[in-house]
């Protein structure tokens, strides 16, 4: 038997629970062991309990001087602060644990990292989490982080001994929450002249995107890339064969998307698009997500220019809505700060894209431009989507037709007549045979081993080969190297005088929320999430960008826009019709059907209409 075939059969047997240390239990496909989940870095119990401080310890000195700028006021309204109170996260983790027992232990490394340090990340359902754990990504966690890759002249000299003392050595990659913490609790930050009543170390790590990559680069450590580029489940009860996230099935590639963009390669002058009073050239994650301000960082220090606001705004406005409703009445949660955090998130979404429109005959051309340093949308692969909405109006301003309509009452997107930018994962035939799950697109994220779709818009500096090698390929779409925009053409209905084009974002779509509810058979998180979603507007989409255009009359029979109607127009139309090209939708009803053939022939033989 060949070695690859022998390995495949062995892995099938192990995943099915026939051999190996893990035991399949009721309701799960596999049970992951601590060996499967092991990664290098700080381990549970290696930081003394007295060194694990809550963020309230920081509140005394780092708040109270500006709700718009001070570290505590801005951080407390962010998803970082509320990651341990996020009902969407807990509903997602419930399904992950159902498919792969103990998977939640891996999830909590990023969402509630101090629970991993304290040991409260087990049981993997989060039932042992304390009030302190629910602070999410805390001040102490970030500000005691050590760059796992020692850099002379940038890293504090104390870091070298910390790294050398780690069992198995320090992590070699940024990602999968392979973090290293200073066991003495000594705070770190970017300032070389910090004045504080506690010990501090100046660290260049805090001005580097590498720090953000710690948690914003996630691979499934139980599913590894093979030499042929496909992915396969690992043999169980042993550590991942390669800790490089690029060699694991992609769950989030935000860090690599940035790392391979023009922003990382010298920066891009965004003309102040992302706010703050710092330089207009954007190069790091912090430049956008921690905009600069002239402010204090502590009540004991004077104002400084160029201090990063700790708002960490991203695309999480709809999740903040869920958290706000879930924590109503909780004295540990500042609802006013959450409202500010939501506003910052909406503002970030409104700056993340721009749209351009032109007309060519009976064709409306829409270009959506990605203004970010990563894919649009980026982040966690489940739920997040961006789409184009087009509304055609007649001369009286009455709506004639619409593409990409979103029904607010039903919370449903009509997606067949527009472009939706998103990523979907799936189960391969191999994985289906192993797990019993249906092949094709899946909501069983933890068991996925193939990418079904990823047409998300790349950032400036995009390169197909480099992105594919990093586990961030384009799938079911085409983008040329360097392209950071997407084009879509729409047929214009006869009589349309103008068009309104909007780009929308959503990360809690109805079908995803229902999936988390209906597939949950172990706890109440799915139902809790659904109730909160209903209570908070059902994930109503957020407008990112818009553009209006006045339309001119056109000749419908001149299909190829040559300026005259010839037999070639008929051939071109028929080619588009049989190829299901959206431009063959002559009557602009959102469907390509035989009626379009009749309507085009009528226009062709009668001349311009």
**Domains with residue ranges and CATH for the chain:** 32-217+253-346 (no CATH), 352-419+455-550 (2.60.40.10), 567-606 (no CATH)
- Residue 27 is predicted with a pLDDT of 59
Q: How far is 137 from 235, CA to CA, in rounded Å? A: 32
- Residue 193 is predicted with a pLDDT of 86
Contact yes or no for 131/332 (Cβ under 8 A): yes
Q: How far is 226 from 450, CA to CA, in rounded Å? A: 12
- Residue 13 is predicted with a pLDDT of 36
- Residue 562 is predicted with a pLDDT of 81
pLDDT in tens, 235-245: 999 999 999 99
- Residue 2 is predicted with a pLDDT of 33
**Phi and psi at residue 426, in whole multiples of 5°?**
-150, 180
Contact yes or no for 514/530 (Cβ under 8 A): yes
- Residue 609 is predicted with a pLDDT of 54
- Residue 28 is predicted with a pLDDT of 86
Q: What percent of the chain has pLDDT over 90?
A: 78
pLDDT in tens, 138-195: 999 999 999 999 999 899 999 999 999 999 999 999 999 999 999 999 999 999 888 7
pLDDT in tens, 368-416: 999 999 999 999 888 999 999 999 999 999 999 999 999 999 999 999 9
Q: How far is 594 from 609, CA to CA, in rounded Å? A: 19
Q: How far is 573 from 559, CA to CA, in rounded Å? A: 6
Q: HSE (CB half, 13 Å, CA atoms) of 171?
A: 26
Q: What is the three-state SS of 74-133?
A: HHCCCHHHHHHHCHHHHHHHHHHHHHEECHHHHHHHHHCHHHHHHCCCCCCCCCCCCCCH
pLDDT in tens, 204-252: 999 999 999 999 999 999 999 999 999 999 999 999 999 999 999 999 9
pTM over 0.85: yes
Strand partners for 308: 292
- Concatenating the DSSP letter of every residue in 229-290 gives S-EEEPPSSS--S---GGGEEEEE-HHHHHHTSTTTTT-EE-TTTT-SSS-SEE-SHHHHHS
pLDDT along the chain (609 residues), means of 10: 33 37 54 95 87 85 90 95 96 97 96 91 95 90 96 95 95 97 94 85 96 98 96 95 97 98 97 91 96 90 90 97 97 96 98 97 95 97 96 97 97 96 97 95 96 98 98 98 97 93 98 97 97 98 98 87 86 91 83 90 79
- Residue 60 is predicted with a pLDDT of 87
Q: What is the three-state SS of 31-54?
A: ECCCCCCCCCCCCCCCCCHHHCCC
Q: How far is 239 from 265, CA to CA, in rounded Å? A: 34
């Amino acid at each position: 038997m060949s070695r690859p075939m022998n390995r495949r059969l062995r892995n099938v047997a192990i995943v099915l629970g026939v051999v190996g240390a893990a035991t399949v239990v009721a309701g799960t496909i596999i049970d992951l062991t601590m060996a499967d989940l092991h990664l290098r870095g700080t381990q549970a119990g290696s930081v003394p309990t007295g060194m694990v401080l809550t963020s309230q310890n920081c509140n005394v000195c780092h708040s109270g001087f500006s709700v718009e700028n001070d570290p505590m006021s801005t951080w407390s309204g962010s998803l970082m602060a509320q990651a341990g109170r996020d009902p969407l996260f807990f509903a997602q983790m419930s399904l992950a644990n159902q498919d792969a027992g103990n998977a939640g232990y891996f999830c909590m490394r990023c969402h509630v990292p101090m629970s991993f340090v304290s040991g409260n990340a087990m049981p993997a359902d989060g039932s042992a989490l304390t009030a302190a754990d629910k602070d999410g990504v805390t001040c102490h966690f970030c500000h005691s982080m050590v760059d796992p890759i020692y850099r002379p002249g940038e890293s504090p000299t104390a870091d070298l001994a910390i790294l050398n003392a780690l069992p198995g050595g320090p992590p070699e990659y940024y990602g999968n929450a392979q973090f290293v913490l200073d066991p003495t609790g000594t705070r770190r930050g970017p300032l070389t002249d910090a004045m504080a009543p506690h010990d501090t170390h100046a660290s260049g790590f805090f001005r580097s995107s590498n720090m953000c990559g710690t948690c914003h680069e996630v691979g499934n450590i139980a599913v590894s890339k093979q030499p042929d580029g496909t992915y396969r489940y690992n043999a169980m009860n042993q550590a991942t064969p390669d800790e490089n996230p690029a060699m694991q099935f992609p769950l989030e590639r935000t860090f690599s998307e940035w790392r391979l963009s023009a922003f990382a390669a010298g920066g891009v002058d965004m003309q102040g698009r992302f706010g703050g009073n710092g330089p207009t050239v954007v190069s790091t994650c912090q430049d956008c997500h921690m905009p600069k301000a002239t402010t204090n960082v502590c009540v004991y220090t004077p104002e400084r220019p160029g201090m990063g606001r700790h708002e960490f705004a991203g695309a999480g406005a709809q999740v903040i809505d869920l958290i706000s409703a879930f924590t109503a009445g909780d004295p540990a949660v500042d609802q006013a700060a959450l409202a500010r955090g939501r506003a910052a998130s909406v503002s970030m979404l409104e700056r993340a894209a721009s749209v351009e429109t032109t007309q060519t005959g009976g064709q409306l051309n829409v270009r959506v431009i990605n203004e970010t340093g990563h894919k649009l949308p980026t982040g966690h692969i489940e739920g997040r989507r961006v789409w184009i909405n087009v509304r055609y109006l007649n001369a009286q301003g009455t709506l004639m037709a619409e593409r990409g309509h979103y029904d607010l009452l039903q919370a449903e997107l009509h997606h067949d007549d527009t472009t939706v930018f998103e990523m979907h994962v799936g189960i391969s035939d191999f994985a289906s045979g192993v797990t019993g799950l249906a092949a094709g697109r899946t909501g069983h994220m933890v068991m996925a081993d193939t990418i079904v779709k990823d047409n998300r818009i790349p950032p400036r500096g995009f390169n197909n080969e480099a992105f594919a090698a990093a586990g961030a390929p384009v799938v079911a779409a085409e983008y040329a190297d360097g392209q950071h925009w997407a084009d879509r053409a729409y047929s214009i209905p006869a009589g349309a005088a103008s068009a309104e084009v909007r780009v929308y974002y959503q990360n809690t779509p109805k079908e995803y929320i229902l999936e988390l509810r209906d597939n949950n058979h172990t706890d109440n998180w799915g139902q809790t999430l659904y109730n909160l979603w209903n209570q908070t507007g059902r994930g109503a989409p957020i407008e990112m960008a818009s553009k209006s255009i006045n339309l001119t009359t056109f000749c419908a029979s001149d299909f190829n826009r040559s300026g005259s109607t010839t037999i070639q127009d008929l051939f071109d139309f028929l080619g588009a019709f049989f190829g299901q090209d959206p431009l063959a939708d002559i009557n602009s009803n959102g469907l390509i059907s035989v009626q379009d053939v009749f309507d085009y022939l009528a226009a062709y033989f009668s001349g311009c209409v």
